[in-house]
Structure 1
Amino acid sequence: MLESFKICIILNVFILLSTAAVGRRKPADAKPNIVIIMADDLDSRQLSCYGGQNLKTTHIDALAKDGLKFQNLIASEAMCVPTRASLFTGLYPVRHGSFQNHKPVYDNLKSVGHYLAGLGYRVGLTGKDHVTKPKSIFPFDIVEGFEPNCVAPTDDYRLDDVKKYITASDKPYCLFVMSINPHAPWTVGDTTEFDAAKLKLPANWVDTPVTRRQFVKYLAEVRRLDDQVGEINALLKQTGQDKNTILIFLGEQGAQFPGAKWNLYDTGQRSSMVVKWPGKVKPSSETRALVQYEDITPTLIDIAGGKPVAGLDGRSFLPVITGKSKEARNYAFGIHNNIPEGDPYPIRSIRDHRYKLILNLTPDKQYYNRFMMDRNRKDRNTVWFSWVDDITDPNAKKITDRFQNRPAVEFYDTEKDPFELKNLAADPQYAQRIAGLRTKLEGWMKEQGDEGAAIDRVYPKKQEAK
């Protein structure tokens, strides 16, 4: 009798332990984890999987080999804070309020942190922490590990806390890993990898020694970024998280070189995105679907099983990711307001898959950016002034004049002219297309409540909420 009793107890304990173990296992239909790695001021054309010839971005290329590469991710405003606010809120800049760099968002918004938390996710962020305040709007779990200050002279990082976060619970997570590479001041990374004389420069640059020296520093940070992507991917494999984790790489907007960041040319607006999702995304695939940063939060909500959120500007492109659709949107829009980075210089743009219309709303003024074209700088050893002072390159004056003195209307065939050097606005064969795009752009501005040139002004400083 006693022996039978012991056997019953042992069996019951075994059943309880087995049940508990099953409870800890993720069911086959468990919601996927999501890790999003975002660059900072990346010229996406430098990635070798996007055609770059100056370095082999081994780890980002590996993601592209395992996943889906987007060819047409467009930033609506080519500067850090507005792009990140758009990413997190699903709203265009005028509607979220951060339509100038470092201008805070409106205080009545919700963001990806709210939406995914409501669907059972933990939502964390490590690294560059622009657009994480106030906490009421951006309720991220802040994870230590990556440098939060984009202009720090170092980018030292560790993965201990990231590892703890992704393994802390069976509850699904969405973790944003926000690198500060390759944002200026370009002080990290191994520059000895690159020979300045052998670099292939973008077609819209003036070839000067200063430009090549600075480009070497920039590319060293692109290498650093690529290594970070590799380490995060390795961590997911090491912890077994890779099996049910979507890994997304984002390029943010263009580099701090003339004509890229702080403009609406493709070297500023055009970004990169690679999505790796084991079992869901076809390896080594690519799409020309047109998407914007505003579309990412709606897509994350869709992935998490949520319904579309009314009032957002973005729309889910999940059908593109899963191969059920080749298209996402017909048009991508752009806005630039130059204060506080320079004199007022408002610009708006619209593009389809091939053609792009740019409206410079104050064409009687000269474009000026204080970071690249500092009027008060006594030494002229900067990329921009090396272009202005160059007397050997016959294209130097044409390139600098184009940058400073812009016509009211610019129109480009981005397939034939990817660096947008030939303005077709006066060509009569495009008049009807230009008129149609202009009508759509002005209609979008009206829907957004965008008053155009009038909003590029100085606003009273708002005390930062905690």
Structure 2
Amino acid sequence: MSRVNIGLIFTILSLLSNALFAGPGKKEKQNQPNILFILSDDHSVPFLGCYGYPIKTPNLDKLAKEGILYKRANTTAPQCVLSRAAIMTGRSTLDIRMTRFTAPLSADFVSYPELLRKGGYYTGISGRNFHLNGARNTAVSDEVFDKYNLETFKNRVDYLKTTGNIDSIYYQYNDFLNKVPKGKPFFLQLGYTDPHRIFNAKEFEPDPDTIKVPEGWPDTKLLRKDFAGYLGEIQRLDHEVGKVFEELKRRGLDKKTLVVFMGDNGGALVRGKGTLYNTGLNIPLIMRHPDLIKPGQVSNILVSGEDIAPTILQVAGIAAPKEFTGVSVAPSFQGKPFQAHEYIYAVRGAHGSGLPTNTAHFDLGRTIISDRYKLIYNALWQLPYYPVDFSGQPFWLELQQLHNEGKLEEKWDKLLFSERRSMFELFDEQADPNEFNNLAGKPEYKEIEEKLKGKLQEWMILNEDYLPLPVAPRPK
């Protein structure tokens, strides 16, 4: 299907959605819901109570009970900058040229808060740094950013403040609400640092000896201690989000506001952040609005980070641009049969600001996910896995030492310390949710592997990907 036809389909869907959510008259336009988009940092499924994990998150569990929980939501990259760029623009990470971690989002690409602003909303971004103005990490970067005016977000929203202090996040939230003009709907992206490392929510940490270690990880005392720190951050996050909900209710806004809670990418955990495995891509996504969303739903549809922008715009009664590659998931709000995607895609690009000394800083990969299978294409397959954000942590150093001494269990040794990776990995997500068993190259899965490679190649071509294509060329 050509890009023109895809754009026409999205335009028609947007027009239909406007009629559904906004109606044709000005009276309906005045009833646009407020939108509160809460973004946690480095947050993987299943680490919330409502996703079935034994952790105390009563406020987010209540949000899920009152709305819809998506079990198969995936970000477009296992890294914050790349993922957030797609969320902000409703377009694939490749399509908007955001595969380098320190890049600023170009003014050429419209963000959905800008469209909300034009549609009558008072808009804001606050809390955790949103990452999309680029990184000023060298004198050269400073000079280039200033010379070409590359920091654009001050022009994209009405209210722009960032902080890493958890108390200041709540202050900015209230400050924003106080500044919303009377009679105007609002949109706010409220970002949290939790559960990003460093783990320091000591008063919220569970007992390491009592926690449930995921099946896909080696169970050691030091890993338990580290993981307890991660869970503590999530429990603190839930506590803070509860305060946000209470303030919304105190102001009489809770029944007039679409609340969206989402993780920006997977956690800095074993085979998580920086990888194209589930722990790197599969994130919590919950939405609630008393009038628009049937409560108590659990959805298994495939959702991409690209879908957030068109969904929010549809709820606001604003047409999504034809350039958007995401699809609104609003048709799922009432529990009717709906499939947003047959396939979703994600990329792995440069991470952080470091030089390419290992695959934590620089790795290149692509993935395609269907209803049942996932294919990962490791373009730098010759290089071993190197963890993002925790290579110096005691639990990892211990695992590394056990590997060096030949004492680590073979299962974990192969998964974590192989000298090189497979170029292609194919997983049956139903039979093997931990992604242990690589089916690529097995004759009985040849047809599935070839089909997924073909679909991935089609997507890479349409998105003008710079990586070598995954389907081997014909012999000459």
Give the TM bin, normalised by the shorter chain.
0.7 to 0.9
Task: Say if 2:80 is the partner of 1:80.
Answer: yes
- The 8 Å contact of residues 188 and 220 in structure 1, kept in 2 or not, is answered as yes
Match of 2:193 among 175, 180, 184: 180
What SS does the aligned partner of 1:213 have?
helix
What SS does the aligned partner of 1:236 have?
helix
User: Residues 325 and 114 from structure 1, CA distance in 2 versus in 1: closer, same or farther, beyond 3 angstroms?
Assistant: farther
- The 8 Å contact of residues 143 and 165 in structure 1, kept in 2 or not, is answered as no
Match of 1:443 among 453, 458, 461: 458
Q: Residues 406-421 of structure 1: matches in 2 within 5 Å?
A: 406-421=421-436
State the Cα deviation string for residues 60-117 of structure 1 (Å, max 9, x = none): 1000110001111111111111111111111211222221323222331211121111
Match of 1:287 among 290, 295, 299: 299
Q: Residues 311-390 of structure 1: matches in 2 within 5 Å?
A: 311-340=323-352, 342-343=358-359, 344-369=362-387, 371-373=389-391, 382-390=394-402
In 2, Cα distance between equivalents of 1:372 and 1:188: 17
Task: Say if 2:409 is the partner of 1:397.
Answer: no
- The 8 Å contact of residues 132 and 140 in structure 1, kept in 2 or not, is answered as no
In 2, Cα distance between equivalents of 1:69 and 1:194: 25
Residue 40 of structure 1: how far off its partner (Å):
0.3
Letter in 1 for 2:45: S
State the Cα deviation string for residues 3-35 of structure 1 (Å, max 9, x = none): xxxxxxxxxxxxxxxxxxxxxxx9796010011
Bigger mean CA deviation after superposition, 67-76 or 101-110: 101-110
- The 8 Å contact of residues 181 and 222 in structure 1, kept in 2 or not, is answered as yes
1:41 matched to which residue of 2?
A: 42
Residue 217 of structure 1: how far off its partner (Å):
1.3
Residue 148 of structure 1: how far off its partner (Å):
2.5
1:148 matched to which residue of 2?
A: 163
User: Residues 195 and 136 from structure 1, CA distance in 2 versus in 1: closer, same or farther, beyond 3 angstroms?
Assistant: closer
In 1, Cα distance between equivalents of 2:320 and 2:388: 41
Match of 2:289 among 248, 262, 277: 277
Letter in 2 for 1:46: F
Residue 393 of structure 1: how far off its partner (Å):
4.2
Residue 164 of structure 1: how far off its partner (Å):
4.5
1:108 matched to which residue of 2?
A: 108
- The 8 Å contact of residues 132 and 138 in structure 1, kept in 2 or not, is answered as no
Q: Residues 40-59 of structure 1: matches in 2 within 5 Å?
A: 40-53=41-54, 55-59=55-59
Task: Say if 2:448 is the partner of 1:430.
Answer: no
Residue 325 of structure 1: how far off its partner (Å):
4.1
Residue 364 of structure 1: how far off its partner (Å):
2.0
Larger Rg: 1
Residue 369 of structure 1: how far off its partner (Å):
4.5
State the Cα deviation string for residues 214-250 of structure 1 (Å, max 9, x = none): 1111111101111122111111111000121111110
Residue 392 of structure 1: how far off its partner (Å):
5.9
Count of matched residue pairs: 414
1:243 matched to which residue of 2?
A: 255
What SS does the aligned partner of 1:314 have?
coil
- The 8 Å contact of residues 68 and 274 in structure 1, kept in 2 or not, is answered as yes
What SS does the aligned partner of 1:395 have?
helix
Give the structure-1-normalised TM-score: 0.83
User: Residues 370 and 303 from structure 1, CA distance in 2 versus in 1: closer, same or farther, beyond 3 angstroms?
Assistant: closer
In 2, Cα distance between equivalents of 1:160 and 1:251: 21
Task: For structure 2, list consecutive stretches of 5 or more residues without a partner in the other structure.
Answer: 1-26, 134-150, 470-476
What SS does the aligned partner of 1:430 have?
helix
Letter in 2 for 1:142: Y
Aligned alpha-carbon RMSD (Å): 2.3
In 2, Cα distance between equivalents of 1:76 and 1:157: 29
What SS does the aligned partner of 1:333 have?
strand
In 1, Cα distance between equivalents of 2:467 and 2:376: 13
In 1, Cα distance between equivalents of 2:371 and 2:100: 26
In 2, Cα distance between equivalents of 1:52 and 1:285: 18
Residue 209 of structure 1: how far off its partner (Å):
2.3
Match of 1:135 among 152, 174, 195: 152
- The 8 Å contact of residues 113 and 187 in structure 2, kept in 1 or not, is answered as no
- The 8 Å contact of residues 37 and 189 in structure 2, kept in 1 or not, is answered as yes
In 1, Cα distance between equivalents of 2:155 and 2:88: 8
What SS does the aligned partner of 2:94 have?
helix
Task: Say if 2:32 is the partner of 1:31.
Answer: yes
State the Cα deviation string for residues 316-360 of structure 1 (Å, max 9, x = none): 121112434421111110111245564443111101111100111
In 2, Cα distance between equivalents of 1:338 and 1:200: 32
What SS does the aligned partner of 2:126 have?
strand
Q: Residues 158-197 of structure 1: matches in 2 within 5 Å?
A: 159-166=170-177, 168=180, 169-191=182-204, 193-197=205-209
What SS does the aligned partner of 2:225 have?
helix
Residue 445 of structure 1: how far off its partner (Å):
0.6
What SS does the aligned partner of 1:120 have?
coil
State the Cα deviation string for residues 185-218 of structure 1 (Å, max 9, x = none): 1123415x41112221122222222211111111
Q: Which runs of 4+ in 1 moved over 6 A?
A: 26-29
In 2, Cα distance between equivalents of 1:271 and 1:301: 21
User: Residues 122 and 189 from structure 1, CA distance in 2 versus in 1: closer, same or farther, beyond 3 angstroms?
Assistant: farther
- The 8 Å contact of residues 84 and 132 in structure 2, kept in 1 or not, is answered as no
State the Cα deviation string for residues 39-58 of structure 1 (Å, max 9, x = none): 100122111111112x1211
Residue 302 of structure 1: how far off its partner (Å):
1.2
2:315 matched to which residue of 1?
A: 303
1:10 matched to which residue of 2?
A: none
- The 8 Å contact of residues 426 and 438 in structure 2, kept in 1 or not, is answered as yes
- The 8 Å contact of residues 128 and 179 in structure 1, kept in 2 or not, is answered as yes
In 1, Cα distance between equivalents of 2:371 and 2:391: 32
In 2, Cα distance between equivalents of 1:433 and 1:234: 49
1:227 matched to which residue of 2?
A: 239
In 1, Cα distance between equivalents of 2:109 and 2:318: 18
What SS does the aligned partner of 1:246 have?
strand
Letter in 1 for 2:156: P
Letter in 2 for 1:254: G
Task: For structure 1, list consecutive stretches of 5 or more residues without a partner in the other structure.
Answer: 1-25, 375-380, 455-466
Letter in 1 for 2:44: D
User: Residues 300 and 320 from structure 1, CA distance in 2 versus in 1: closer, same or farther, beyond 3 angstroms?
Assistant: same
Residue 138 of structure 1: how far off its partner (Å):
6.1
